[in-house]
Structure 1
Amino acid sequence: MSKGQRRIRKVAVLGSGVMGSQIAAHCINAGLEVILLDLKSDDPKRPNKTAEESIKHILKMKPAPFGLPEFADRIKLGNFEDDFNLLKEADWICEVIIERMDIKKDMMSRIEKVRKPDTIVSS
């Protein structure tokens, strides 16, 4: 790798909807570590239910976006309340939350507080 180039090893995907869950799947297929965060569930026994259900949904797709179904187990699932600090480990943060500018601005402000200085942030 030449000087000035960086290697992306860990990706944090914020938002586990249609786009976010499939981005996470494709990153896993490429051999990257993936953190997938979404809203915290009201179910105290399953705080990551939103992200869990998104992964279950894309596993049923034909064709499924995972190279192999067991690749889904490699995605670290979490939520914005309990696991936001995991973003400090990411080389790339991919924000794909709801298309509301006020919510996106708040999310970007939160990201800025925890990310590494050289982390790529996309929206």
Structure 2
Amino acid sequence: MEEKKIIKFESLGYCPVRNVIGRLGDKWSILILTSLHVNGKLRFSEIQRSIGDISQRMLTVTLRSMEADGIIRREVHAEVPPRVEYELTLLGKSLFPHIKALVDWAQDNMEEIKTNREKQ
């Protein structure tokens, strides 16, 4: 019997799949990206209201991570009090069709998933 060749996804240095999915696969990133895509440029409090149950700390941490990756842009306006707005960058906009496909799949299949979970 011939041994099946298995493609390995080992963490040998820099793995783009682990790196990007690890960053975007948390509980909040896709919701934040979707909110910014649908609503356009938003202030911190507007993002928080659009998502609902995200803590201020978690929103801050997630926004900083996505800003560091260049997926969103943070713009500080020199006003009193300071106004800070967030929006998708070109890189973030190029990601959104892929996010939308995942969001659409989740919406289309949630009932079946819920049914399967209830069987467990």
TM-score by length of 2: 0.29
Q: Which has the higher helix share?
A: 2
Q: Which has the higher strand share?
A: 1
Instruction: Name which one, 1 or 2, has greater alpha-carbon Rg.
Output: 2
TM-score by length of 1: 0.29
